[in-house]
Structure 1
Amino acid sequence: MTEFIPPGSRFHALPSPFPMKRGGQLHGARMAFETWGTLDADGGNAILIVTGLSPNAHAASNAQDPSPGWWEAMLGPGKPIDTERWFVVCVNSLGSCKGSTGPASPDPATGEPYRLSFPELSVEDGADAAVSVVRALGITQLACLIGNSMGGMTALAVLLRHPGIARSHINISGSAQALPFSIAIRSLQREAIRLDPLWNGGHYTEERYPESGMRMARKMGVITYRSALEWDGRFGRVRLDSDATDEDPFGLEFQVESYLEGHARRFVRFFDPNCYLYLSRSMDWFDLAEYGQGDVMAGLAGLRVASALSIGAATDILFPLQQQEQIADGLRAGGAEAEFLALPSPQGHDAFLVDIARFGPAVAGFLAVT
C-alpha cells in the first residue's frame, strides 16, 4: 500500500470525525491541495478545481513544485486560467492515494492501511471535503468552480450540498449521473483488479501486487478515454518491428497494443488498486436524480449558480455530449445563465487534457466575463 504525494502538496485536516454520506466516518483525515496566485483581500477571486479519478493536486508548476502539472497548458500566468488574476486551488480527491486520505492511508485506530475497511465513498463525500479546504483558506464564495470528468460530478455535488458556494461554474466533460455504458466499463475494470489473485481481498503488498489486474483495468480505461478516430489516425494498422510473435503467437503485434501496454505499466505502480476501486464505484453511484424525486433534470434545476458553461468533446464515448448538454439545460431551468459548448475535438474524453487549442479559449472566454 503506497501513497504517491507530490512534493508541493499542502495539507488540510478535515473535521474529526468526518461523516460519510453512506455511513461511517473518518478520524484524523486530511486533504492534499496546491494553490497558485494571490487571494484578493475580499477573497473574491478564488477558483476551485476538482479533478478526475487519477490526477493529484499538482495541476501546474508553482514555487513549491516547479515540475509540470497535469493541466500545465491551462493554468498559470497569462494562460486560460490566469493566475495573475485568479487565486486557484486544486484538491486531490478524498479516497485517492496522492495525499488525501483514502484506502491506502493508515487508519489511526490500527496504524495499518484502511484497505477495505475504509468507509463506503461517495462523490458527495469528496465534495464536502473539497469545500472544507476552501473554507479553511478563508474563502466565503468562489468566483468559479471548475470540475472535469469525475470532477464534473464532484462540482455538481458541491453546488448541491453547499448552496451559494460559487458564483459561476465550468463543467468539463462531466455528468449529472453515470450512464450504463460508463458503469459497465468501470465494472469490468474493477472486476479485472479483484480477479487478480494477488489482489487478495485488498491485502496485497509491494512484493505481491495485483499488477496484471491493474494493467487490464488501465488499458480498458485508456481505450475509452480516446476516440476511435484518434486511434486510427495515430496508429492505423502499423505493426511492430519485432520477432516477438515467433516466441509468443498471441503477444503484442500492433503499435496500438504496444502503446496500451506501455501506458498501463507506467500507471499500475503509481495508483493504489483499492483507491481505484473506491473512486470508480463512487462515480457509478452518483446520480442527481436522487435529489430530484427520480428526475435528473429536477435535481439539476435545484442547484443555484448565477452562470455556467458546460463543455464536451464530440467524440467522447465515456461522458457523451448529451450529458454536458443536459447539465446546461438543467442549470438553466434553475435560473442560471448557462451555455452548452460542443467542441469538435477528435481526442475523446481526454480532450480537455490535451486539446488546449479548443478547450483553452472556451475556458478563458467564460472567465473573462466572470
Structure 2
Amino acid sequence: MSDARRYADLPSPFPMKRGGALAGARVAYETWGALAPARDNALLILTGLSPSAHAASSPDDPSPGWWEAMIGPGKAIDTDRWFVICVNSLGSDKGSTCPASTNPATGEPYRLDFPELSLEDVANAAHVAVSQLGIDRLACLVGCSMGGMSALAYMLLHPGSVRAHISVDTAPQAQPFAIAIRSLQREAIRLDPGWARGTYDLHPGDRADATYPDAGMSIARKLGVITYRSAMEWNGRFARIRLDSDQREEHPFGVEFQVESYLQAHAERFVRTFDPNSYLYLSRASDWFDVAEYGHGSVREGLRRICIEQALVIGVSTDILFPLEQQEQIAEGLREAGADVEFVALDSPQGHDAFLVDIESYSRAIGGFLGRL
C-alpha cells in the first residue's frame, strides 16, 4: 500500500443512485502541493476506469504515477501553485470500497451483493473526500475518460462547487460503439469459467491453481487496448511484421504477429492487478451514465445545467471510443450554460490514450489554461 494514500470515510449509510446503500465505506485519495489559507487553490482529478489515486510521485511514495509527466513543480499541473487531489473511484479496488471489500453486514466480501454502481455514486463519494478536506469550492475539476463523465456528474449534482473544469477525452453519454465494446469485455469475463459467478479467488497471487478469470480479463484488456489507440498508430508501429520463428508459439493459431505479442504483454501485466468484479461494475456504470437524464432527455439541456466560469475541453481526432464530436458537444453545452470555453482538438495518432502518451500536446493545452485561471 502506498504511504501517500489517505482515506475519506463516507457517511454511513451511503445511499446509491440505483438503490441500496453502503455501510462503513471509504474512498482512497492522494494529494500534492499545499492548500492555500483561503482554500481556493484545490484541483481535483477524477480518473479513468483502472488507474489508482497515485497520479504522481511524492516524498511519501516516490514511485511514478500514471500522470507523472503532467503533475509536479513547474509542470502543467503545477503543485507549487495548486493543491492537487486525485480520488480513486468508489467501486475500484485500488483502495476504495468495492465488490472485493468486506460487507460489514455479513463479514464476507460483497462480490455481486455490492449495490449497483453509477458514476453519480463515484462523483458523490469524491465530493465527500473534497468536503472533508475543508474545501467548499474547487478551483478546477479535471476529468479524464470515465473520470470526465464522473466530473460532469459532480458538477450537476453539486452546483456551485466548481469554478473551472478541464474535460479530457470523455463523453456526456456512452455511444453505441463504446457500449458494444464494454459489453464484449464484460461478456468475456463472465463467460470465463474461472469467474465462477463472481466467487473466484480474490487474492490469487501467481498461483496456477487459483480460480480466477485469467482468460476473460486478458481478452477484456486486449479489447480495451485496441480501442484506446488508433488504426494509424497500429499501422505505424507494427504494420504486418511477424515475430522471429523462435518467438512464435508452436501450437496452431498461436501468436504470430508483433501486434499480437504486444497485446498479450499488455494483458499479462493487467490480468491479476485489477479485481474482475470491480471492472464489471465500473464498466457498466460508464454505459449507464447519461447527461440527458438531467435535461429532460436532451444532452444539450443537461449540459446547460452545469454552472461554471471557465472550461477547457480537449479531444483527439483519432479517438474511436470517445469521438471528437462528443467533445464538441460538451464544449458547446458548457458554452451555452455561460462558461468561457476553450476547445482543443488534437491530431495525436495515439487515439483515446493520447492524454497518457502525448504529454507535450496535453501539457501545452492544460498548462496554458491553468496559467490563465
TM-score by length of 1: 0.98
1:189 equivalent in alignment to 2:185: yes
- Which residue among 299, 304, 317 is the counterpart of 1:301? 304
Pick which of 193-202 and 334-343 moved more.
Answer: 334-343
1:166 equivalent in alignment to 2:155: no
Distance 1:246 1:115 in 2: 36
- Which residue among 197, 200, 218 is the counterpart of 2:196? 200
Alignment partner, residue 317 of structure 2: 314
- Contact 1:6–1:98 (CA<8 Å) still a contact in 2? no
- Contact 1:173–1:349 (CA<8 Å) still a contact in 2? yes
Distance 2:88 2:101 in 1: 14
Q: Superposition pairs for residues 66-105 of structure 1, below 5 Å?
A: 66-105=62-101
- Letter of the structure 1 residue corresponding to residue 222 of structure 2: K
SS in structure 2 at match of 1:49: strand
- Cα distance, 1:331 vs. partner? 0.6
SS in structure 1 at match of 2:212: coil
- Contact 1:244–1:251 (CA<8 Å) still a contact in 2? no
Q: Superposition pairs for residues 286-365 of structure 1, below 5 Å?
A: 286-365=289-368
- Contact 2:32–2:85 (CA<8 Å) still a contact in 1? yes
- Cα distance, 1:189 vs. partner? 0.1
SS in structure 2 at match of 1:48: strand
Distance 2:20 2:162 in 1: 28
Sequence identity, in percent? 67
Alignment partner, residue 244 of structure 2: 241
1:220 equivalent in alignment to 2:223: yes
Alignment partner, residue 45 of structure 1: 41
- Cα distance, 1:7 vs. partner? 3.9
List gaps (5 residues or longer) in structure 2.
205-209
Distance 1:155 1:316 in 2: 19
- Cα distance, 1:10 vs. partner? 0.7
Q: Deviations over 1:148-180 (max 9, x none)?
A: 000000000000000011100000001110000
SS in structure 2 at match of 1:338: strand
- Cα distance, 1:8 vs. partner? 2.2
SS in structure 1 at match of 2:278: helix
- Which residue among 258, 263, 279 is the counterpart of 2:261? 258
SS in structure 2 at match of 1:247: coil
Pick which of 277-286 and 338-347 moved more.
Answer: 338-347
Q: Deviations over 1:205-264 (max 9, x none)?
A: 121111000000000000000001111111111111134657312000001100100100
Q: Residue 252 and residue 327 in structure 1: after superposition, are their counterparts in 2 closer, same or farther (change >3 A)?
A: same
- Letter of the structure 1 residue corresponding to residue 213 of structure 2: P
- Which residue among 164, 171, 174 is the counterpart of 1:175? 171
Alignment partner, residue 279 of structure 1: 282
- Cα distance, 1:338 vs. partner? 1.2
- Contact 2:249–2:256 (CA<8 Å) still a contact in 1? no
Distance 2:266 2:310 in 1: 38
Aligned length: 366
Alignment partner, residue 31 of structure 2: 35
- Contact 1:6–1:56 (CA<8 Å) still a contact in 2? no
Alignment partner, residue 139 of structure 1: 135
SS in structure 1 at match of 2:120: helix
1:113 equivalent in alignment to 2:109: yes
Regions of 4+ moved over 3 Å: 243-246
- Letter of the structure 2 residue corresponding to residue 324 of structure 1: Q
SS in structure 1 at match of 2:103: coil
Distance 1:208 1:108 in 2: 24
Distance 1:246 1:302 in 2: 55
- Contact 1:32–1:57 (CA<8 Å) still a contact in 2? yes
- Contact 1:37–1:83 (CA<8 Å) still a contact in 2? yes
Alignment partner, residue 149 of structure 1: 145
Distance 1:29 1:366 in 2: 35
Distance 2:334 2:213 in 1: 42
- Cα distance, 1:109 vs. partner? 1.2
Distance 2:245 2:20 in 1: 53
Q: Deviations over 1:123-155 (max 9, x none)?
A: 000000000000000111110000000000000
Pick which of 333-342 and 155-164 moved more.
Answer: 333-342
- Letter of the structure 2 residue corresponding to residue 154 of structure 1: S
SS in structure 2 at match of 1:184: helix
- Contact 2:249–2:255 (CA<8 Å) still a contact in 1? no
Distance 1:30 1:246 in 2: 45
- Which residue among 51, 61, 66 is the counterpart of 1:65? 61
- Cα distance, 1:63 vs. partner? 1.5
List gaps (5 residues or longer) in structure 1.
none
TM-score by length of 2: 0.97
